Amino acid sequence: MRLATWNVNSLRARMDRVLEFMRRSEVDVLAVQETKLADAAFPVQPFEELGYQVAHHGLNHWNGVAVLSRVGLDDVQRGFPGQPGYGDPAVVEARAVSALAGGIRVWSLYVPNGREQGHPHFDYKLAWLKALGEQVSGQLAADLDAALVLAGDYNIAPTDADVWSVEYYADKTHTSPPERAAFQGLLDAGLSDPVRAFTRAPKTFTYWDYQQLRFQKNRGMRIDFMLCSDAVRDRVSGASIDRDERKGKGASDHAPVLLDLLDTAPPTGNAR
């Protein structure tokens, strides 16, 4: 089974690219972020014609997340318990949706950007991640064998190797100690990032700003992840970042991240 995550930065603007990606990439489950669509505006039919079921969560032209699956799509959850809101009055934004697909609970997550250190949005980002971590901890405490994938745009570069310039980001967001601690909190909750082992080359990124020829200069960040519970991690056979999708006219500023799973965990070495 092949899973992928992709911040498309407007599905409407990216429709041709996304459909072409799905036609050629053999992806069974795709987690999409930043559709920038309300549910009523989501173009369900073109995906259904390719054999995918759609679970979309969008309230307006900001955020918007979806899970697309051709291996079943059940028990859709919009948002997660305890998910913080933002603004006055606080609104719970469309940043999390999940479904059971192919026996795995797959989340599509769009973590708040944070904007600037000290900005209210930054505190919102940390609170959002804390609440997410508590949910994961609770689920894995209840079922150590739960098959979970938390795919999405985390808007955090967990290590210095995940940014093109440590100095450039020193006073910005995405690399600060509290953000990295929040990301580590998810790992401490029982998740792991199996993609990294397959994408070890230096300066491997998933996002490049549109400005300043950042992609052409490979000045990017690794901020998109597919965090997995142990039950899923034990089935991983490969992973990759589809850098080609960042090329050319009409590209998203993020590239898709792909993860391949064996049908069942290998028989040796994983007994609990």
Partner DNA sequence: ATGGTTGATGGTCAA
Catalytically active residues are 110, 153, 254
Of the pair 105, 254, the CB lying nearest DNA is at 254
**Binding positions for DNA, rule: CB under 7 A:** 9-10, 12-14, 36, 60-62, 112-113, 115, 121, 209-213, 250
H/E run at residue 125: helix 120-142
254 marked among binding-site residues? yes
Cα Rg of the chain, angstroms: 17
Q: Residues with Cβ < 8 Å from 36, sequence gap 6 or more?
A: 9, 10, 11, 12, 58, 61, 62, 63, 64
Q: Measured between alpha carbons, how far is 29 from 43 in angstroms, rounded to an integer?
A: 17
Of the pair 113, 237, the CB lying nearest DNA is at 113
- In whole angstroms, the minimum distance from the beta carbon of 155 to DNA comes to 7
- In whole angstroms, the minimum distance from the beta carbon of 111 to DNA comes to 10
Nearest-CA neighbor of 9 among 240, 206, 259, 149?
206
Q: Measured between alpha carbons, how far is 85 from 256 in angstroms, rounded to an integer?
A: 27
Of the pair 69, 252, the CB lying nearest DNA is at 252
How distant is the alpha carbon of residue 69 from its chain centre? 15
153 marked among binding-site residues? yes
- In whole angstroms, the minimum distance from the beta carbon of 28 to DNA comes to 26
253 marked among binding-site residues? yes
63 marked among binding-site residues? no
- In whole angstroms, the minimum distance from the beta carbon of 237 to DNA comes to 31
121 marked among binding-site residues? no
Of the pair 211, 264, the CB lying nearest DNA is at 211
How distant is the alpha carbon of residue 230 from its chain centre? 18
Residues at the binding site for Mg(2+) are: 7, 34, 153, 155, 253-254
